[in-house]
């Protein structure tokens, strides 16, 4: 369904206006008499208006996103769908200045003085008075913040590898010019390494085809309904993630056998290098990893792996939205 179809959707800001829209639209033969097309009749499977126990509901697909109540309050609910089409529908029907998706929440510019966020699973109650929307009730929005004391305690567990990796990068980095002579030319410090140095990770990939080295940077995979499907190798996508990050974490801990620590540090360093590559192929002779990028990935990985210890849940100020990366680290995406 295209955004063009939204042009034909009726608008309302009061209960009586919404009720009049419902009452004046002719039902489609063979369908429920209380459910009627809100836009063009050919879009009746997408936009509908229905009367439920005296409440007028404006429905997108099967989700009643906007409810007009007899007391002239308007209940806005994303019904769990944080999409651009959802925000477009809400903005169009209510005539809001702005309604957009930001991370894992919807931000509504209700009026010049109030911007509110709507989180998945919560509702927003509005009422229009004197031509302007007022917020009757907005449920608190929660997100996560870094507990810096806890973060420093976590970093201390990997301090030996941190020193090793920083020295490793500084020793091997060199200036690299990308897209030289073109409009996109950029110069940065990079670590050059060859495919021959990735022997450990190549062996791991052969032994465990489900290994995803990019997970050390990307975090818990999205779309849980897909992540839990069992593939031909007997693993789910979530299994792949857990195997990869647990392997990497075991290589960088301070409290490991000293006899193998240096070798493990080298394997982990090459793993962080490889995690920045778009893909691994034995035919690639030379790889380059941006120095600052790989150092940041290591630090992010340590916090991500210990997210439940490092992150604290807090109530956000009005209009603020949760940090999508932290939400993903907590497995709530």
219 — phi, psi (to 5°)? 90, -170
C-alpha dihedral sign at 15, 17, 22, 23: positive
Q: 19, 68 in Cβ contact below 8 A?
A: yes
Query: 3-class DSSP state for residue 86?
Result: helix
Q: What is the mean pLDDT of residues 77-105?
A: 85
Query: Of 331, 327, 312, which Cα lies nearest the Cα of 242?
Result: 331
Report d(CA 209, CA 203) in Å as an integer: 10
Per-residue pLDDT reduced to its tens digit, 284-308: 445 667 778 888 889 999 999 999 9
The overall average pLDDT reported for the chain is 83
Per-residue model confidence (pLDDT) at position 275 = 80
Helix (H) or strand (E) holding 176: strand 173-178
- pLDDT of 113 strictly over 90: no
Using pLDDT thresholds of 50, 70 and 90, give the confidence band for residue 56. very high
C-alpha dihedral sign at 152, 157, 159, 161: negative
Ranges 66-70, 192-196, 312-316, most confident: 66-70
Q: What angle do CA 67, 73, 75 make, to 5 degrees?
A: 35
Per-residue model confidence (pLDDT) at position 277 = 62
Could you tell me which residues are beta bridge partners of residue 36? 49
Per-residue pLDDT reduced to its tens digit, 219-278: 665 544 445 555 555 667 677 788 888 999 999 999 999 999 999 999 999 888 888 764
Per-residue model confidence (pLDDT) at position 131 = 83
Out of 85-99, 199-213, 251-265, 304-318, pick the least confident: 199-213
- pLDDT of 161 strictly over 50: yes
Per-residue model confidence (pLDDT) at position 81 = 83
Per-residue model confidence (pLDDT) at position 315 = 87
- pLDDT of 59 strictly over 50: yes
Per-residue model confidence (pLDDT) at position 282 = 45
Longest CA span, the chain: 81
């Amino acid at each position: 369904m295209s955004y063009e179809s939204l042009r034909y959707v009726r608008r309302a800001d009061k209960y009586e206006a919404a009720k009049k829209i419902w009452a004046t639209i002719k039902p489609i033969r063979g369908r429920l008499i209380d459910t009627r097309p809100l836009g063009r009749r050919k879009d009746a499977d997408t936009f509908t208006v229905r009367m439920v126990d005296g409440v007028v509901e404006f429905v997108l697909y099967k989700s009643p996103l906007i409810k007009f109540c007899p007391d002239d309050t308007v209940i806005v609910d994303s019904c769990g769908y944080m999409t651009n089409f959802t925000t477009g529908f809400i903005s169009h029907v209510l005539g809001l200045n702005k309604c957009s998706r930001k991370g894992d929440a919807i931000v509504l510019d209700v009026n010049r003085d109030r911007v509110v966020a709507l989180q998945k699973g919560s509702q927003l109650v509005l009422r229009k008075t004197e031509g302007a929307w007022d917020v009757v009730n907005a449920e608190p929005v929660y997100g996560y913040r870094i507990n810096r004391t806890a973060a420093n305690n976590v970093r201390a567990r990997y301090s030996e590898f941190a020193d090793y990796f920083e020295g490793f990068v500084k020793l091997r980095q060199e200036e690299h010019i990308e897209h030289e002579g073109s409009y996109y030319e950029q110069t940065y410090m990079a670590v050059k390494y060859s495919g021959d140095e990735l022997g450990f990770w190549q062996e791991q990939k052969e032994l465990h085809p489900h290994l995803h080295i990019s997970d050390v940077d990307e975090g818990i995979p999205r779309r849980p309904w897909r992540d839990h499907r069992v593939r031909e190798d007997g693993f789910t996508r979530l299994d792949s993630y857990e195997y990869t990050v647990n392997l990497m974490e075991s290589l960088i801990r301070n409290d490991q056998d000293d006899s193998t620590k240096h070798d493990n540090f080298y394997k982990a360093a090459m793993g962080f290098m490889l995690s920045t590559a778009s893909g691994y192929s034995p035919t690639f002779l030379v790889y380059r990893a941006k120095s600052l990028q790989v150092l940041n990935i290591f630090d992010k990985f340590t916090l991500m792996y210990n997210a439940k210890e490092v992150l604290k849940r807090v109530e956000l100020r009005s209009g603020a939205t949760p940090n999508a990366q932290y939400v993903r680290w907590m497995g709530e995406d």
